[in-house]
Amino acid sequence: MARISLSHLGKTFASRHGNVTALADINLEIADQEFITIVGASGCGKSTLLNLLAGFDTPTSGQLTVDGAPVNGPGPDRGVVFQQTALFPWLSVEENIAFGLKLRANRRKGSSEKIVERLLARTGLAAFRSRRPAELSGGMRQRAAIASVLAINPSTLLMDEPFGALDALTRSIMQDFLLEVWEEERKTVLLVTHDIDVAIYLADRTVVMTAHPGRVREIIAVHLPRPRRYEMRSEERFIALRDHVTGIVREEAIKGAIEIAA
Ligand SMILES: Nc1ncnc2c1ncn2[C@@H]1O[C@H](COP(=O)(O)OP(=O)(O)OP(=O)(O)O)[C@@H](O)[C@H]1O
Ligand SMILES: [Mg+2]
């Protein structure tokens, strides 16, 4: 049964330059614990889609349900990690991770300390627990942001270019870190990326969107064994998937560019 269901979902923005249809007739069923990646040309509506799922914005048509209920604003069941890390600059790493837990009134102190300890260890930040975000590297900051989201134990993770600001090496380490966390915590993940290799490497299924308005162009099932290993990227079946996805994304980006020029 689907955990997340998007049915004829559409979003049109009213702007000074007229209406902009960002998303049109999106249909997608996402299973519990599925890892979905979303790719598509710039401006095709990927962030808009995640914002709707996060409950930061509302659809203008169609339906969006999580666990059978319509999304009605943000909730602790959906953790959000965007490119710019959402950490409190005046709190230490440890305090940032503990922050969300404090908001959940019914948790006993003992168990919340245990959760923070486990996440500090899991993200390799135990030795940096007292540091403020400004005293961390980009990769460490992003791990701290992920830890603070995981602390609330959301069943769904919504990630928009979560490692986009990092260098290539740190990025690839963070992808493996994310996969390890996902294998351990079994969450449903929707991750937006412009990097097709990453989209395939992480996903159970990759959704390719059309450019303007964003629709689902194709859903590609990634039948690569898990756990994924970095070396898989040079295997023939990986390269075949990458070429296929790249072909569609390029086609859509070119179509979009022609439409904009017209
Ligand atoms: N608040 C808004 N008001 C008006 N138009 C908007 C708003 N937010 C997004 N749009 C428009 O909706 C379309 C989709 O934007 P969105 O940010 O979702 O694209 P994206 O796929 O995330 O792009 P990128 O890959 O560059 O991040 C764009 O045409 C954008 O201009
Ligand atoms: Mg975006």
Got the DSSP string for 23-74?
Answer: EEEEEEEEETT-EEEEE--TTSSHHHHHHHHHTSS--SEEEEEETTEE--S-
Cα separation values, 119 from 41, 96, 98, 157, 236, Å? 35, 11, 10, 16, 36
Q: Compute the distance from residue 21 Cα to the ligand 1 centre, in Å.
A: 9
Cα separation values, 142 from 145, 161, 170, 234, Å? 5, 11, 10, 27
Task: Give 214's DSSP letter.
Answer: B
Contact 58, 2 (CB under 8 A): no
What distance in Å separates the CA atoms of residue 163 and residue 166, rounded to the nearest whole number? 6
- Provide the edge-to-edge strand list for the sheet that holds 18-31: 18-31, 2-15, 61-66, 69-70
Q: Which atom of ligand 1 is the closest one to the Cα of 45?
A: 18
Q: Which of 9, 7, 4 minimizes the C-alpha distance to 61? A: 9
* 59 preceded by a cis bond (ω within 30 of 0): no
> Given pLDDT bands bounded at 50, 70 and 90, which one contains residue 15?
confident
Q: What is the pLDDT of residues 209-245, one digit of tens each?
A: 998 899 999 999 999 999 999 999 999 999 999 999 9
Ligand nearest to the CA of 40: 1
Reduced to 3 states (helix: H, G, I; strand: E, B; else coil), residue 112 is: helix
Q: What is the pLDDT of residues 86-132, one digit of tens each?
A: 899 999 999 999 997 887 655 555 688 888 998 999 889 999 999 99
Q: Which atom of ligand 1 is the closest one to the Cα of 209?
A: 21
Among all chains, which residue has been given the structure tokens 């169609």? Answer: 62
Work out the end-to-end distance of the chain between its first and last CA atoms, rounded to an integer number of angstroms: 43
pLDDT at residue 108, rounded to an integer: 56
Among all chains, which residue has been given the structure tokens 């503990």? Answer: 98
Q: Quick one: tokens of 178?
A: 């994310």
Contact 4, 53 (CB under 8 A): yes
Q: Which of 123, 129, 100, 124 minimizes the C-alpha distance to 112? A: 100
Q: Phi-psi bin for 160: left (phi > 0), alpha (psi -120 to 50), beta?
A: beta
pLDDT at residue 161, rounded to an integer: 93
Contact 219, 226 (CB under 8 A): no
Q: Which atom of ligand 1 is the closest one to the Cα of 20?
A: 5
Take atom 16 of ligand 1 and give the residue whose Cα is closest. Answer: 45
pLDDT at residue 103, rounded to an integer: 72
Around ligand 1, the residues with Cβ closer than 6 Å are 13, 15, 20, 22, 40, 42-48, 194
Q: Which CATH superfamily is domain 1-77+156-230+248-262 in?
A: P-loop containing nucleotide triphosphate hydrolases (3.40.50.300)
The segment(s) of the chain belonging to CATH 3.40.50.300 are 1-77+156-230+248-262
Q: Quick one: tokens of 202?
A: 């992480």
Q: What is the pLDDT of residues 55-98, one digit of tens each?
A: 999 999 999 999 999 999 999 999 999 887 789 999 999 999 99
Cα separation values, 2 from 65, 86, 185, 247, Å? 10, 29, 19, 29
In the structure, ligand 2 is a single-atom ion and the residues with CB under 5 Å from it are 47
Reduced to 3 states (helix: H, G, I; strand: E, B; else coil), residue 159 is: strand
Q: Ligand 1 test: best mutation among 11, 12, 13, most atoms within 8 Å of CB?
A: 13
pLDDT at residue 50, rounded to an integer: 97
Take atom 18 of ligand 1 and give the residue whose Cα is closest. Answer: 45
Q: Compute the distance from residue 59 Cα to the ligand 2 centre, in Å.
A: 17
Q: Compute the distance from residue 73 Cα to the ligand 1 centre, in Å.
A: 19
Cross-strand bridge partners of residue 192: 38, 160
Range of lowest pLDDT (8-12, 33-37, 174-178): 174-178
Q: Quick one: tokens of 237?
A: 């079946």
In the chain, DSSP finds a helix count (H) and a strand count (E) of: 7, 10
Average pLDDT over residues 172-182: 91
